[in-house]
Structure 1
């Protein structure tokens, strides 16, 4: 069973950790975000992104969720989709420094205005 975990987790260390939603977040988006975070920490990025997409469906205006989707896409090797998710994270960041000052965010968004 442990070998499967290592296959799912891969060799790359995540460049960031998933963000939690702020207090007062829509309850189902909070639940799905927590589920995605649990999957992420287990190295199951495909299930994590599904949970984060469910969180986004419940609250499409939470920058943290878009950040988490970008993080999963990065870990899954879908680098071409990361920047789009990070643009939405910025749009809905509400000046959250965990998003806007994250080295992961800055790495992808260098040169973006």
Structure 2
């Protein structure tokens, strides 16, 4: 983490970057900020585009940590010391008895690995 702790009020008035509305983490972030003041986001169609905009210095963004791990490690992005007052939960589901294709099995295996690492 970089710098001093940041409160939600410190984020209001900053240039904000996010994916389009409807993304759970963006919606929760926006709800938290708009409880203090109206905010505007520069919107991007993908997390990758949002990350690149943040790396270019266009603003701050609330991406899922797993999507920015490499950029944080290499230093092209820095983590603000802001603790979100919400939690995001993700679930995976598929039809019982259905054999998943190889790419889906790989995705599930990677998701399980990441969850185990976090625990």
TM-score range, shorter chain: 0.3 to 0.5
Larger Rg: 2
Looking at secondary structure, tell me which structure has more helix per residue. 1
TM-score (norm 2): 0.31
TM-score (norm 1): 0.32
Greater RCO, CA 8 A, separation 6+: 2
